């Protein structure tokens, strides 16, 4: 007659099994929370912001680098951005598409020294 192996005092499963099971449960729970949050957060409209990130003067022309961010849950199409300089005519740039929660860069060009440039998002469409 063959004797059965003695059972450990913790039952048939070891400590490592319980740790792995708990970790697996946490990963699945976190994934479900992320999917549910993304599913319900998409209804927030596009919210497009713009800011100057840098500038350089090349051969008498000032180029102003701008960053356009969409912090909303929906995409924005045909984004119109205007740069209002302290001196001179305003500059315009149009971006075809800015996805939700993304960043795009663009450049405005001004003759000479425009001084301080205020960057304004004038509008966009739903793609």
Containing domain of residue 81, as a range? 48-125
Domain membership of residue 5 (yes or no) is no
> How far, in Å, CA of 119 to CA of 48, rounded?
12
Domain membership of residue 85 (yes or no) is yes
* Same domain as 76, residue 54: yes
Pairing outcome for strands 61-70 and 76-85: unpaired
96 CA to centre of own chain: 17
Query: How many structural domains are present in the chain?
Result: 2
Residue 70, pLDDT > 80, answer: yes
pLDDT confidence of residue 7? 58
* Same domain as 53, residue 28: no
Asked if residue 48 lies in contact with residue 98, where contact means CB atoms within 8 angstroms, the answer is yes
* Same domain as 121, residue 64: yes
pLDDT confidence of residue 2? 64
The predicted model gives 39-45 an average pLDDT of 71
- 15, HSE (Cβ side, Cα atoms, 13 Å): 1
The torsion angles phi and psi of 3, rounded to 5 degrees, stand at: -85, 145
* Same domain as 69, residue 33: no
* Same domain as 105, residue 77: yes
pLDDT confidence of residue 12? 64
> How far, in Å, CA of 102 to CA of 17, rounded?
41
């Amino acid at each position: 007659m063959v004797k059965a192996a003695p059972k450990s005092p913790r039952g048939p499963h070891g400590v490592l099994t319980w740790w792995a099971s708990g970790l697996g449960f946490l990963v699945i729970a976190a994934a479900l929370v992320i999917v549910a949050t993304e599913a319900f957060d998409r209804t927030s409209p596009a919210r497009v912001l713009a800011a100057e990130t840098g500038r350089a003067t090349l051969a008498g022309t000032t180029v102003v680098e701008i960053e356009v961010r969409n912090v909303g849950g929906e995409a924005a199409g045909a984004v119109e951005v205007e740069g209002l300089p302290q001196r001179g005519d305003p500059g315009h740039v149009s971006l075809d598409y800015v996805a939700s929660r993304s960043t795009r860069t663009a450049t405005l060009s001004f003759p000479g020294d425009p001084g301080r440039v205020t960057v304004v998002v004038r509008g966009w469409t739903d793609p």
